[in-house]
């Protein structure tokens, strides 16, 4: 998908870079695959109090039911449409199976309308096909991966993401995930060949606060702009730092930015061969 730059006719258009959706199919979403999406505005359904800050408003949208399991084995399907999904960063593909059923899947990068895909242990290693990891040769990029057999895909689903198959070892496959973590996953888990579509998503520049509000994101106030009673970073004369000696804090006084939160004795830790590399703070 290409990018389109806006001419600076207005302040909001200056520097704006958006995804060009010209390559998507111009059709309404499949009605039978739509579900109502209730909005809570970041509030708890039980008490009505805000539990997730900076959420609320935004355009009304419906949920597209995505087939994350793709359990229709050995039944070929044709890609009828490539569509925009407001609920995720990547695009989705509408599959029409030979038995007449239609389902949505995450669109792979390079998948075209009219292409034929299949979910099968005997499937060719081709973009859009889904097969067990033991059938995928090393050096292949995969996405939409199951963590446990027949559980449905859980990881590598964001726009442009892809995991690299490194090697096969005693019933497991070594995968290098987008986070640079190297992890063992059972070779019977299913994965889709290729990377996730909309790889230029990270280059998008919204240009104005209003476009973020359309997406349901409310304003965020910096802690250092608050009073001491409202945030650990607040107070001080003029523009004050956040006190790096004690470390950055959440509004509730807990340590933030780089503090490990994973449980030390988490059972799945034995499957992680190499932790993700730390990003250098600028």
209 within a domain of the structure (yes/no): no
Neighbouring-strand partners of residue 142: 163, 193
SS3 63: strand
211 within a domain of the structure (yes/no): no
31 within a domain of the structure (yes/no): yes
Range of the domain at 279: 225-282
- 128/24 same-domain check: yes
Does the predicted model carry a pTM greater than 0.75?
Answer: yes
178-198 tens-digit pLDDT: 999 999 999 999 999 999 999
CATH number, domain containing residue 263: 4.10.950.10
Q: How far apart are the first and last CA of the chain?
A: 31
- 129/229 same-domain check: no
190 within a domain of the structure (yes/no): no
CATH number, domain containing residue 44: 2.40.50.140
Tally the domains of the chain: 2
In percent, the amount of the chain with pLDDT more than 90 equals 87
pLDDT at residue number 65: 97
255-271 tens-digit pLDDT: 888 888 889 999 999 99
Q: Do the strands 77-83 and 116-117 form a parallel or antiparallel pair, or are they unpaired?
A: antiparallel
């Amino acid at each position: 998908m290409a990018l389109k730059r806006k001419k600076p006719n207005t302040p909001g258009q200056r520097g704006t870079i958006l995804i060009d959706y010209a390559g998507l199919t111009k059709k309404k979403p499949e009605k039978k695959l739509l579900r109502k999406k209730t909005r809570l505005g970041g509030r708890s359904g039980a008490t009505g109090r805000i539990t997730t800050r900076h959420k609320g408003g935004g355009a009304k949208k419906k949920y597209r039911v995505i087939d994350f399991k793709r359990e229709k084995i050995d039944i070929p399907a044709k890609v009828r449409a490539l569509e925009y999904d407001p609920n995720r960063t990547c695009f989705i593909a509408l599959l029409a199976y030979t038995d007449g059923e239609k389902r949505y899947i995450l669109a792979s990068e390079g998948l075209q309308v009219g292409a034929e895909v299949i979910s099968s242990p005997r499937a060719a290693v081709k973009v859009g096909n889904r097969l067990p990891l033991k059938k995928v040769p090393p050096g292949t990029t995969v996405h939409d991966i199951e963590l446990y057999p027949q559980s449905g895909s859980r990881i590598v689903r964001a726009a442009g993401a892809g995991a690299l198959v490194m090697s096969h070892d005693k019933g497991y496959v070594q995968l290098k995930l987008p986070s640079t973590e190297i992890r063992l996953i059972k070779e019977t888990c299913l994965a889709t060949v290729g990377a996730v579509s909309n790889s230029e998503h990270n280059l998008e520049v919204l240009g104005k606060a209003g476009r973020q509000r359309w997406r349901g994101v409310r304003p965020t106030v910096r802690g250092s702009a608050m009073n001491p009673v409202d945030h650990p970073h607040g107070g001080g004369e003029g523009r004050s730092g956040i006190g790096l000696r004690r470390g950055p804090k959440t509004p509730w006084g807990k340590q933030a930015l780089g503090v490990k939160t994973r449980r030390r004795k988490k059972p799945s830790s034995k499957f992680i061969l190499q932790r993700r590399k730390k990003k250098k703070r600028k």
